[in-house]
Amino acid sequence: MEKEKLKGVSNGKKFLIESYGCQMNFSDSEIVASILTEKGFSITKVEDDADLILLNTCAIRDNAEQRVRNRLTHLKGKKKRNKTLKVGVLGCMAERLKSKLLDEEKLVDLVVGPDAYRDLPNLIEEVETGQKAVNVLLSREETYADINPVRMNQDGVTAFVSIMRGCDNMCSFCVVPFTRGRERSRSPETIVKECTDLFASGYKEVTLLGQNVDSYRWNIDSKGNIKNENEETTNFAGLLEKVALVDKNLRVRFSTSHPKDMTDDVLHTMAKYENICNYIHLPVQSGNSDVLKRMNRGYTREWYLDRMKAIRRIIPECAVSTDIITGFCGENEEEFNDTLSLMKEVKYDFAYMFFYSERPKTLAERKFEDDVPLELKKSRLTEVINLQSEHGHASTKRQVGLTQEVLVEGVSKRSSEHNYGRNSQNAVVIFPKQDSKRGDYVQVKIQSCTPATLMGEIVG
């Protein structure tokens, strides 16, 4: 009882949290913020006001870690001037490097992995007594299902909702299974409740997050058997439907789909509900089947193109984006050309493109030589980027002349006379405000475009 009363009462301490990496990390930071504010800490965005600075880090590529190291070096200087300032590293880099971050670098006071955030208040107490604190235990169960995230993106219109954690796929290039642990799904009830609450407080769009949303499963084991006869079973298509039914004015997005697991069921569910956005992020990584095999992705070029055909057939209006890696171990000219030819075949609306960065402990690091010279990785990346910008521009040009529903997210950064929002296909649309405001759905006639943005006017 006494404890209950103390909940949320200010302890006078302020924390600042910075997020790096994927949407999952941004979503986790909102969980961390919730755990800490419950214990009386308050959030600040001003570095000089913070008693505690937390970096929620990413380990996906070497340059992601480098960014964090630079930031930590900067903060070290700050700690010299302000002896009471504490710095903590959370997330994937914390999990990867564990106490090394404390021992080697002497830059941080606190290291906490992605499954240990409930322990943060205790760990901070330890740190306050002058000790260093670490908890990098991974869990098979933790989904933070009961925690109500403190929303940190201030638009009040769009929110991330985590539906699962971890990843069991073991793509050979990828560090995520090591930093985030085993895959586990969150209960459909808590997901639907979170979405319902968000809609009730004015949110108009949720993005369901998981490393491989297609393998979401509740009450079904990895072999497809029902675990508990008395409980409802849900797969991703079922979950998507439940969330779509929260309200027809709540837009639903999701990320990331995995080509080996994406079913026609999911596509039919998308086609059935107007409020599930016509947009799929379907990372291909490479257009060559031998490279895909070395990457341990679990599909071939043909399989991927068949999934693309299913998308085009079932949801003709669907936009598709992808992730591409150039210069993976052993990638020769011919194999690389297959990536370019696949891109030409699919014509992605959008893509995230990277050159291969070897990560310690991964299958690729143990099995293959990182033998494509950096310069070649980079020149291939440039080729991929140039081709994609043609395709991206073609995509925005195709939309000129159409009238599209846009969810208003806020005032354009370039002009206070304009609002911006996104269409169902996830493209940014800018238009004169008229009397629209954030959170409104408006019909916009697209009149012109740049390679990445649509411009139009509200009609009707």
Contacts of ligand F3S in 78-107 (CB under 6 A): 91-92
Shortest reach from residue 20's CB to ligand SF4, in Å: 16
Instruction: Give which of 105, 106, 138, 100 is closest to 119, Cα–Cα.
Output: 138
Cβ closest to ligand SF4, residue 21 vs residue 177: 177
Is 188 near ligand SAH (CB under 6 A)?
no
Is 290 near ligand SAH (CB under 6 A)?
no
Binding mask 292-321 for ligand F3S (x = CB under 6 A): ------------------------------
Phi, psi dihedrals of residue 220, rounded to the nearest 5°:
-130, 135
Among 22-30, 47-55, 144-152, 429-437, which window interacts with ligand F3S (CB under 6 A)? 22-30
Count of residues that interact with ligand F3S, criterion CB under 6 A: 13
Cβ closest to ligand SAH, residue 357 vs residue 388: 357
Cβ closest to ligand F3S, residue 91 vs residue 259: 91
Cβ closest to ligand F3S, residue 88 vs residue 91: 91
Is 357 near ligand F3S (CB under 6 A)?
no
Is 212 near ligand SF4 (CB under 6 A)?
yes
Candidates 14, 15, 17, 24; binder of ligand F3S (CB under 6 A) is: 24
Shortest reach from residue 341's CB to ligand SF4, in Å: 22
Q: Cα(441)–Cα(98) distance, rounded to whole angstroms?
A: 46
Candidates 251, 258, 377, 438; binder of ligand SF4 (CB under 6 A) is: 258
Binding mask 49-78 for ligand F3S (x = CB under 6 A): ---------xxx------------------
The SS3 call for residue 119 is helix
Shortest reach from residue 299's CB to ligand SF4, in Å: 11
Cβ closest to ligand F3S, residue 57 vs residue 419: 57
Among 95-103, 143-151, 170-178, 398-406, which window interacts with ligand SAH (CB under 6 A)? 170-178
Candidates 211, 257, 322, 396; binder of ligand SF4 (CB under 6 A) is: 211
Q: Measured over all CA atoms, what is the biggest interatomic distance in the chain, rounded to whole angstroms?
A: 69
Instruction: Give which of 141, 139, 137 is closest to 98, Cα–Cα.
Output: 137
Return all residues near 386 (Cβ < 8 A) that are at least 6 apart.
none
Strand pairing partners for 444?
404, 458
Binding mask 166-205 for ligand SF4 (x = CB under 6 A): -x-xxx--x-xx----------------------------
- The end-to-end CA distance of the chain, in Å, is 56
Dump strand ranges (E) for 163-263. Answer: 164-165, 184-185, 205-209, 217-218, 234-235, 251-255
The SS3 call for residue 407 is strand
Q: Cα(216)–Cα(163) distance, rounded to whole angstroms?
A: 8
- Residue 59, binding choice from ligand SAH, ligand SF4, ligand F3S, none, Cβ under 5 to 8 Å by partner class: ligand F3S
Q: Cα(406)–Cα(424) distance, rounded to whole angstroms?
A: 7
Q: Which residue is associated with the tokens 């649509």? A: 454
Is 173 near ligand SAH (CB under 6 A)?
yes
Return all residues near 21 (Cβ < 8 A) that are at least 6 apart.
56, 57, 58, 59, 60, 64, 91, 92
Q: Cα(197)–Cα(194) distance, rounded to whole angstroms?
A: 5
Number of H helices, E strands in the chain: 15, 21
| CA neighbours closer than 13 Å in the CB half-sphere of residue 447 | 10
Q: Cα(229)–Cα(134) distance, rounded to whole angstroms?
A: 40
Instruction: Give which of 66, 59, 67 is closest to 98, Cα–Cα.
Output: 59
Is 278 near ligand SF4 (CB under 6 A)?
no
Binding mask 58-77 for ligand SAH (x = CB under 6 A): --xx----------------
Residue ranges in contact with ligand SF4 by CB under 6 A? 167, 169-171, 174, 176-177, 211-212, 258
Residue ranges in contact with ligand F3S by CB under 6 A? 21-22, 24-25, 58-60, 91-92, 175-176, 179-180
Residue ranges in contact with ligand SAH by CB under 6 A? 60-61, 173-174, 176, 211-212, 256, 258, 283, 285, 323, 325, 354, 356-357, 359
